[in-house]
């Protein structure tokens, strides 16, 4: 009889402890400071974006990302000839950090596409992700490759 009540009670205590441990505060900060985490990102990255799924009109362009040693970044976008006047030349700037294998962009200037972080390839030479283009509302794919490492 005693086993029938202790087993479920012990299971309940373990379950509550597990849930409380997962829901509790993390041991460290969730985001590193820009200056401390961007040394391996410094430099020029060349990129592209394109409309996922396509349509009658293309929305695509080239991107250039410049990350400085102080953790600041600038992105400039130029539409390709196929963009059919949908994409407009623009630029963004702010600070950058890394968190959990993603490169996180913190905007301070410009109209930002609806992406704030990009995944990083294992080699570290490619950044990629999906976003929502604020000019069209369309979903786009973004890829940056470190300058000099393009194939």
pLDDT tier at 139 (50, 70, 90 boundaries)? confident
Contact in structure between 20 and 13 (CB atoms under 8 Å): no
β-bridge pairing 139-146 and 43-51: antiparallel
Three-class DSSP labels, 119-144? EECCCCCEEEEEEECCCCCCEEEEEE
Looking up tokens 């005693």, which residue turns up? 2
**What's the CATH code of the domain at 91?**
2.40.128.120
At 26 the pLDDT is 41
At 128 the pLDDT is 93
* Residue 5 predicted with pLDDT over 50: yes
Question: Is 11 among the domain residues?
Answer: no
* Residue 20 predicted with pLDDT over 90: no
Question: Is 17 among the domain residues?
Answer: no
Query: Considering the entire predicted model, what is its pTM?
Result: 0.68
Domain that holds residue 59: 34-146
Contact in structure between 55 and 139 (CB atoms under 8 Å): no
Total domain count, the chain: 1
Question: Is 55 among the domain residues?
Answer: yes
């Amino acid at each position: 009889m005693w086993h029938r009540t202790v087993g479920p009670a012990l299971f309940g205590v373990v379950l509550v402890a597990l849930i409380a441990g997962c829901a509790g505060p993390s041991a460290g900060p969730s985001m590193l400071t820009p200056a401390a985490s961007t040394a391996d990102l410094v430099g020029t990255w060349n990129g592209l974006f394109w409309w996922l799924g396509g349509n009658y009109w293309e929305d695509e362009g080239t991107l250039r990302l410049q990350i400085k040693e102080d953790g600041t970044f600038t992105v400039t976008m130029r539409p390709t000839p196929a963009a059919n006047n949908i994409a407009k030349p623009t630029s963004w700037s702010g600070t950058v950090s890394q968190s959990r294998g993603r490169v996180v962009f913190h905007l301070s200037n410009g109209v930002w596409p609806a992406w704030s972080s990009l995944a990083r390839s294992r080699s570290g030479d490619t950044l990629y992700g999906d976003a929502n283009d604020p000019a069209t509302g369309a979903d786009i794919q973004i890829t940056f490759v470190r300058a000099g490492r393009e194939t």
